[in-house]
């Protein structure tokens, strides 16, 4: 039997006020543990370019510390605000550019794909997703804010997706 290095995956729930992140590691076949989760935050009174720069710095620091090999990032779905969608798309662009620069394999997942993978139901609400994240990672509490829970769900969805596409 070969000794395989456990895979470390970072999940990103893109946003410019709060950008959720979750880093998971393969513990046993099919199971993952949460190493860290949280949000990169930026202030509303800053220029958008400064906010993007801060998110980039925070992302680099997490990658440097935890050394993931895979980035799982959520694709955008916005029906309401074009302005918000564009700013979040810019965050995605910065993160994906850094992933390339840092030699991370990128896996993109759709919001309903995350819900289906985590809960089995494509129209699950936030509370259902959060409860399953708590269960899957055997956490004592639901990660807060919800962007952190979403990032863990995104990371886990990417891990499952890779298992079936590799």
Q: Residues marked as binding for Mg(2+)?
A: 13, 74, 147
Contact criterion met (CB below 8 Å) for 158 and 9: yes
Within 95-155, strands assigned E span 105-109
Note the Cα 55 to chain centre separation in Å. Answer: 13
Q: Where is the binding site, in residues?
A: 13, 74, 147
- With tokens 């298992």, the residue in question is 163
Q: 7, 13, 31, 146: which one is catalytic? A: 13
Neighbours of 41 (CB within 10 A): 16
Phi, psi of 146 (to 5 degrees): -60, -20
147 is catalytic: yes
Q: Which member of 113, 130, 146, 147 is catalytic?
A: 147
Residue found by looking up tokens 């990417």 in the block:
158
- The two counts, helices (H) then strands (E), for the chain are 5, 5
Q: Catalytic site residue 74?
A: yes
Concerning whether 150 is annotated as a catalytic residue, the answer is: no
Selecting among 74, 113, 130, 150, the annotated active-site residue is 74
Q: Nearest Cα to 56, choosing from 3, 108, 102, 98?
A: 98
What residues act catalytically? 13, 74, 147
């Amino acid at each position: 039997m070969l000794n395989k290095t456990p895979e470390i995956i970072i999940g990103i729930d893109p946003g410019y006020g709060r950008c959720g992140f979750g880093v998971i590691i393969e513990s046993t076949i099919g199971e993952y543990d949460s190493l860290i989760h949280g949000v990169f935050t930026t202030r509303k009174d800053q220029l958008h370019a400064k906010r993007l720069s801060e998110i980039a710095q925070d992302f680099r620091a997490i990658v440097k510390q935890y050394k993931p090999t895979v980035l799982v990032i959520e694709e955008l779905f916005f029906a309401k605000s074009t302005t918000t969608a564009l700013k979040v798309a810019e965050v995605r662009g910065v993160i994906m550019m850094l992933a390339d620069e840092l030699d991370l394999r990128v896996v993109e997942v759709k919001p309903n794909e995350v819900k289906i993978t985590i809960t089995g139901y494509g129209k699950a609400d936030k509370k259902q997703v959060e409860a399953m994240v708590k269960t899957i990672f055997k956490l004592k509490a639901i990660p807060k804010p919800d962007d952190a829970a979403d990032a863990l769900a995104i990371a886990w969805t990417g891990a499952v997706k890779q298992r079936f596409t590799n």
